[in-house]
Structure 1
């Protein structure tokens, strides 16, 4: 097909109909995604009576901030928020470092036993120990009721590890050889040459790991019995469950706005990810694709 025919077909009636339907479909999907979020934000600023009487709204009749004021003056909620932030920050650093330090030597074809280790990594993509064996391992390691139980069991994602390994294999070997000639050790090559060149993929997988830790409620539910160590996601689960009214009454003796708190906690649990994503967006697409396709 010639370029003239391609331009002609692009402006045809069928092409225009397709574009219109495509736009309508994308707008519909956007509304399906955005409207619930807007409703949650609006509900967090609405009073209890308005939430009870209006099944759906995108703008409250009267803005109230009492729900957020209660959140930030309640020890249980603030402690859960601080715990989640700290666990996410430490966990992301630990998981990224373990993933990258394991992927770098596996990218070297001369590494003894490399094939065996890679096969074991790939094996975990298909098979896992399961919930009960994992719990028993965490218990026997003495990690129950500790924050490390929320970090170490999922410290290395095998799929991410393989992508990072492929990325390291694509880096020019001449750079590493030049660094070794200048006197760098293997560790020096990794820190001074490889890591600075890996900023896009570091940003991407830091975001992946951080989102996974931040949204994880199953691990604290299984491994944390002390409610003073609960993360924010456990609080969200408690508040949005069937016994929401009694969820925090056992921890705080004061009355709290049940319905408004459901919306406020969801907003607070969602905002950090929405805030940090734009700063990492420029690295996101490049980091997802890089290392996944061999040129």
Structure 2
């Protein structure tokens, strides 16, 4: 179709807008990556850093040979994998009965759950609750309190409501109970929305630091984001940071740790991206 003059102007505006937006998002990554691969002299050079003019792998060698980084990385991987897996299981177990119209008092349960999206007890009551449950300084304190996201659970519930009830009736005629129907029929048909929610949950767990900062005191349980925060903001004397000399610059090591922290999620995203739009759109069709 031939576009009018107004439509052409709008198309040009969209292209310029999204080009500027893309550059604004991509440049910080390029800047940090360039600093991490630069020599101390190059890292201190004022101006834009799109790529290093003088390459040095000192910062990355320092990252890969520091035990604390790998300890924090392992703790974060454990939190992300276990947290995402258990979260999907818990949300599926909650969303499936709420998606069935024959559930007694379904409206009451829905209202009760929706309230939790807008009101919380606050930090101090939450800490006292966690302490009374004996979860302080436990790895599970990073997983159990946030096991179910109400918003994500409702998206999953809406998706389940869109699955034809005839499939469930057929399975019941074959002798399947509700648990068997959920895991053998419903979940296999829900891969797009589950992949989307898995991505949200994984990114949330990977980037979380505040709960670990509050509830964990054991240095062996430190997670990557908490370590990164300590390194960038407060830890000039951290063993990973070299002394500032003409040949060594702590900022290059900080930049390398930042990139090391961001890369796993950047690598994971393309594998789940194809499910992302489909899962969100299908999960929002029914209310």
Q: Which residue of 1 aligns with 2:45?
A: 53
Match 1:244 to one of 227, 231, 235: 235
d(CA) in 2 for partners of 1:182, 1:73: 57
Cα deviation per residue 1:55-107 (whole Å; 9 max; x = unaligned)?
43111122111111111111111100111111100110011111111111111
2-structure distance, mates of 1:171, 1:82: 38
Residue 155 (structure 1) shift: 0.8
Which residue of the other structure, out of 147, 169, 177, is the alignment partner of 1:177? 169
2:182 is aligned, of 168, 182, 190, to 190
Distance between the aligned counterparts of 2:61 and 2:92, measured in 1? 41
What is the rounded CA distance, in whole Å, between the counterparts of 1:171 and 1:222 in structure 2? 42
Match of 1:16 among 4, 8, 11: 8
- Gapped regions of structure 2 (runs ≥ 5): none
The equivalent of 1:73 in structure 2 is 65
Q: Distance in 1 between matches of 2:106 and 2:30?
A: 50
Q: Where does residue 87 of structure 1 map in the other structure? A: 79
TM-score normalised according to structure 2 size: 0.94
Q: Shift of residue 254 of structure 1?
A: 7.4
- 1:57 and 1:29 map into 2 onto residues whose CA distance is 18
- In the alignment, structure 1 residue 199 sits paired with structure 2 residue 197: no
- 1:43 CA drift (Å): 0.9
Give the Å deviation of 1:25: 1.2
**1:163 aligned to 2:147?**
no
Give the Cα separation in 2 of the matches to 1:109 and 1:294: 13
Give deviations 1:260-280, integer Å, cap 9, x for gaps: 121111111111111111111
| Equivalence for 1:141 | 133
Taking the aligned partners of 2:157 and 2:255, their CA distance within structure 1 comes to 41
TM-score (norm 1): 0.91
User: Is 2:23 the partner of 1:42?
Assistant: no
Cα RMSD for the two superposed structures: 1.7
CA distance in 1, matches of 2:213, 2:132: 18
- Residues paired across the two proteins, number: 283
Q: Secondary structure at the match of 2:283?
A: coil
Q: Is the 8 A contact 2:98 2:106 kept in 1?
A: yes
Deviations, residues 35-64 of structure 1 (Å, cap 9, x unaligned):
111111111111223212334311112211
Q: Which runs of 4+ in 1 moved over 4 A?
A: 252-257
